[in-house]
Amino acid sequence: MTSNDALPTVFLEAWASLVPIISSNIGPILHIIDDRKNGYLVKPDSPKELAEGIYNLIQNNKLRNELSINGLYKVRNFTWNKQTKKTKEIIMDVLNEK
């Protein structure tokens, strides 16, 4: 993943598979992941903080399960039907502004 990846597919795949996410808090990620709610954010380029985050999730079953369940709820917002509807609403709003 890079800082210009607006919505990494791997997040959606992990959430759908009940796998907790650990990510650097870069770019649009801050708008996708709620830290310690549906993912775990660490400073970019910080191997120590990443290792600590992984260790915390290994040791903390409650947090790991909470991130997994909340991620599953979040991924349900990214179905084709919902995204198509949102896109249509945006297009209609733009067209109605003219």
Q: What's the pLDDT tens digit per position in 33-89?
A: 999 999 999 999 999 999 999 999 999 999 999 999 999 999 998 888 988 999 999
Which structural domain, as residue segments, surrounds residue 45?
9-96
Per-residue pLDDT averaged across 15-39, rounded? Answer: 93
| Number of domains, the chain | 1
In a domain, 1, yes or no: no
In a domain, 83, yes or no: yes
In a domain, 4, yes or no: no
One DSSP character per residue, 65-90 reads HHHHHHHHHHHGGG-HHHHHHHHHHH
pTM score: 0.76
* CATH number of the domain residue 70 falls in: 3.40.50.2000
